[in-house]
Amino acid sequence: MKTISTAGGTLYHLAATELGDATQWIRIAQLNNLSDPVLQGLVTLHIPAPDPSKTGGLPVMAS
């Protein structure tokens, strides 16, 4: 886990940049007790370690 500071933006963008998957924004939200993916002002966030097996809380469909 790491900590970053950001001014505005969205958790979608942070998840795509930091975790390689925008759908994992919910992991960042849960870790930081946030419900809104839109960030306002300067915020400091904890970022979980990348985990390719996580899909943002959505069930993975087998193909």
Give the percent of the chain with pLDDT over 90: 73
- Residue 55 belongs to some domain of the structure: no
- Residue 56 belongs to some domain of the structure: no
Cα(37)–Cα(34) distance, integer angstroms: 7
Q: Are 35 and 6 in contact (CB under 8 A)?
A: no
Tens of pLDDT along 7-34? 999 999 999 999 989 999 999 999 999 9
- Residue 26 belongs to some domain of the structure: yes
Residue 40: give the domain boundaries.
Answer: 2-47
CB-side neighbour CA atoms (13 Å) of 26: 6
Cα(1)–Cα(41) distance, integer angstroms: 22
Total domains in the chain come to: 1
